[in-house]
């Protein structure tokens, strides 16, 4: 290892960054246009797209903390995780449309509905507009503080301050607990309370596990971009991609395990409070989306990731990662959209907001462009600010050995 | 290349090394020299060694996959047979073929099948149990399970020649070269 190497980002990163901003701008214009015509649809689509990219940012922060605690050769990707987690301030800003659209999204924000509904009245001390905003503020302050502190200490490490090594581990230990708890609460606030009558204790883990998978898929895509260019071409090895592939396989299985467990328990209990969630998702055309997810969110990536070659060769792994990001998006569509459909016996239907079976609005495609473009712009900006390798990481030498230490 | 001097009672020639690095370097040299029927012995796993020996990739993953698929089919089949054919019972008005209930057991038997595939497959591919192996005829080989590293070029190798191979092994600066009785 030589200290004269700067590990500066490749030159064409700026072009990607500019392109991301353009895509984001086009998406924003489309969204503004869509908001004028169908504000209800705009808020739903924005929520879906927002949660996908928030998942990449938060999942990256979670994986970064796991990496600080566990070590392992995949630490060579630390700068990608750090750059993703530093996009969280932008995600706090992009949350604003959800706050504005609260009454379009969440039935509990309608006082007249709450009054006439015993369950909602009971839940009102938690599910009310003010506390919803206070919690969101608390999450973002906490997440941003952790992400920026981890990044700041990482920079001090680059400058030669080795006293931060142990501090990074301590903060990661506490930070993982904080992240898991707050992300669980956020999943209740932003997703589960779309249908405030329904509840599932596994939901938070499903949300956090999905974020981990999104973050891994995104990291594979960025790292494949980096490994084709100097200076990382000689540093990222097949064994490093192998690690990312193995972790992705584990997260694909985790997603399937949590989802199936949730389904089996609700199917077995067959309770009136729980079963409408699945009825809404296995009727009126949504069942095809459900089967699609079982096949393409589990069976296909699982089978592809079993192969050693598919995990070790970045040019193959990147296609699996791209496909995973697409199905992560469709999984979020499945969590959100059926709640606004007539098939679901839910409060939106009583409020007269319903579709006739499966639907995909054009805004569902425009919103990811807007959120994704802006997010990617922020990510590339952050990635370019630091050396691409945490070159003073005490475990790095081991990670960079030909076979990759484990 | 003549094989005349190769004694039928000889298994091969064995060189002893002090470090794993020396063993890997020697193995790479032997492979460059054209030797193929050789084996290396080490008290610790050395990742580079399989590559240096030019070993073909293990067939074990396929056996594990096969074991898993068989286990899964057997588990599901057992439940289907008992719940639907042999002893159908109405539980809470659910269909006899209530597949979500079958999944946990199917999952477990898949794991069991895969684990058995790995366990039995590993023994079979390693040709275990093997009560006799000629390398143990070399007294120094006792240290192969503690702190010494060995490379054995076998007489079955087409390029094996007692004098030439012995000379080649000596050129690698081993601690010693011994003949391995078959």
- Residues of B engaging A, defined by a Cβ cutoff of 8 Å: 47-48, 61, 65, 92, 100-101, 103-104
Judge whether A50 lies within some domain: yes
Q: What is the mean pLDDT of each run of 10 residues along chain A (406 residues)?
A: 66 88 91 86 92 96 94 88 94 93 87 86 91 95 95 89 88 95 95 90 93 96 89 84 94 94 91 86 87 94 91 91 95 89 52 63 88 94 87 79 53
Judge whether A69 lies within some domain: yes
For an interface test with A, the pick among B28, B100, B103 (most A C-beta atoms closer than 10 Å) comes out as: B100
Q: How confident is the model at residue B68 (pLDDT cuts 50, 70, 90)?
A: very high
Tokens of A129: 């507009």
Judge whether A153 lies within some domain: yes
Judge whether A405 lies within some domain: no
Instruction: Measure Cα distances from A402 to A406, B50, B89 in Å.
Output: 12, 14, 59
Judge whether A320 lies within some domain: yes
* Residue B129: partners with Cβ closer than 8 Å, 6 or more residues away: B123
Full-model pTM? 0.84
Instruction: For tokens 């200490």, name the residue.
Output: A153
Instruction: Measure Cα distances from A236 to A17, A286, A399, B20 in Å.
Output: 22, 41, 10, 26
CB pair distance less than 8 Å for A268 and B100: yes
* In chain B, domain spans: 10-57+133-181, 60-125
* Residue A324: partners with Cβ closer than 8 Å, 6 or more residues away: A213, A214, A216, A217, A248, A252, A297, A301
Judge whether A164 lies within some domain: yes
Judge whether A367 and A49 are in contact, CB under 8 Å. yes
Judge whether B165 and B7 are in contact, CB under 8 Å. no
How many domains is chain A partitioned into structurally?
1
Residues of chain B in contact with residue A260, where contact means CB-CB under 8 angstroms, are: 100, 103
Judge whether A396 lies within some domain: no
Residues of chain B in contact with residue A268, where contact means CB-CB under 8 angstroms, are: 100-101
Q: Omega before A117 cis (within 30°)?
A: no
CATH number, span B10-57+133-181: 3.30.70
Residues of chain A in contact with residue B108, where contact means CB-CB under 8 angstroms, are: none
Q: What is the ipTM of this complex?
A: 0.72
pLDDT at B144 over 80: yes
Domain range for A123 is 4-386
pLDDT at B137 over 50: yes
Judge whether A401 lies within some domain: no
């Amino acid at each position: 290892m030589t200290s004269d190497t700067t590990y500066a980002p490749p030159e064409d990163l700026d072009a990607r960054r500019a392109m991301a901003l353009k895509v984001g701008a086009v998406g924003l214009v489309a969204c503004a246009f869509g908001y004028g015509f169908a504000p209800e649809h705009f808020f739903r689509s924005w929520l879906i797209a927002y949660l996908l990219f928030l998942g990449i940012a938060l999942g990256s922060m979670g994986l970064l903390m796991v990496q600080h605690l566990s070590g392992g050769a995949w630490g060579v990707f630390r700068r990608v995780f750090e750059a993703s987690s530093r996009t969280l301030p932008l995600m706090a800003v992009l949350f604003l449309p959800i706050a504005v659209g609260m009454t379009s999204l969440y039935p509990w924000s309608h006082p007249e509905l709450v009054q006439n509904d015993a369950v909602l009245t009971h839940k009102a001390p938690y599910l009310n507009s003010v506390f919803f905003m206070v919690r969101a503020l608390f999450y973002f302050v906490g997440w941003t503080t952790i992400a920026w502190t981890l990044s700041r200490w990482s920079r001090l490490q680059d400058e030669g301050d080795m006293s931060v090594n142990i501090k990074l581990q301590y903060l990661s230990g506490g930070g993982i607990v904080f992240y898991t708890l707050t992300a669980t609460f956020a999943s209740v606030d932003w997703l589960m309370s779309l249908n405030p009558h329904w509840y599932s204790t596994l939901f938070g883990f499903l949300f956090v596990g999905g974020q981990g998978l999104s973050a891994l898929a995104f990291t594979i895509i960025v790292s494949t971009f980096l490994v084709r260019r100097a200076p990382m071409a000689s540093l990222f090895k097949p064994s490093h991609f192998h690690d990312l592939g193995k972790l992705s396989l584990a997260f694909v299985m985790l997603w399937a395990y949590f989802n199936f467990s949730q389904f089996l328990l609700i199917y077995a209990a067959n309770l009136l409070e729980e079963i409408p969630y699945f009825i809404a998702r296995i009727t009126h055309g949504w069942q095809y989306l459900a089967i699609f997810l079982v096949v393409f969110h589990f069976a296909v990536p699982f089978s592809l990731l079993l192969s050693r070659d598919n995990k070790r060769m970045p040019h193959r792994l990147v296609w699996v990662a791209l496909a995973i990001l697409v199905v992560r998006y469709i999984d979020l569509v499945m969590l959100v959209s059926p709640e606004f459909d007539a098939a679901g016996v839910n409060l939106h239907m009583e409020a007269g907001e319903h579709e006739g079976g499966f639907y995909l609005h054009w805004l569902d495609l425009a919103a990811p462009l807007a959120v994704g473009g802006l997010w990617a712009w922020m990510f590339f900006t952050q990635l370019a600010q630091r050396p691409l390798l945490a070159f003073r990481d005490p475990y790095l030498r081991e990670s960079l050995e030909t076979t990759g230490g484990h | 290349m003549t094989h005349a001097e190769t004694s039928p009672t000889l298994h091969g020639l064995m060189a002893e090394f002090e470090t794993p690095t020396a063993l890997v370097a020697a193995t790479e040299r032997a492979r460059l020299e054209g030797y193929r029927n050789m084996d290396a012995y080490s008290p610790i796993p050395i990742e580079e060694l399989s590559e240096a020996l030019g070993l073909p990739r293990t067939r074990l993953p396929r056996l594990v996959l096969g074991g898993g698929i068989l286990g899964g089919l057997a588990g599901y089949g057992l439940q289907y047979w008992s719940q639907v054919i042999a002893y159908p019972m109405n539980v809470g008005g659910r269909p006899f073929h209530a597949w979500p209930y079958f999944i946990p057991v199917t999952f477990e038997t898949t794991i069991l099948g895969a684990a058995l595939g790995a366990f039995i497959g590993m023994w079979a591919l390693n040709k275990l149990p093997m009560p006799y192996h000629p390398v143990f005829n070399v007294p120094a080989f006792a240290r192969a399970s503690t702190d010494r590293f060995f490379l054995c070029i076998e007489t079955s190798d087409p390029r094996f020649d007692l004098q030439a191979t012995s000379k080649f092994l000596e050129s690698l600066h081993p601690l010693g070269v011994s003949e391995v009785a078959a």
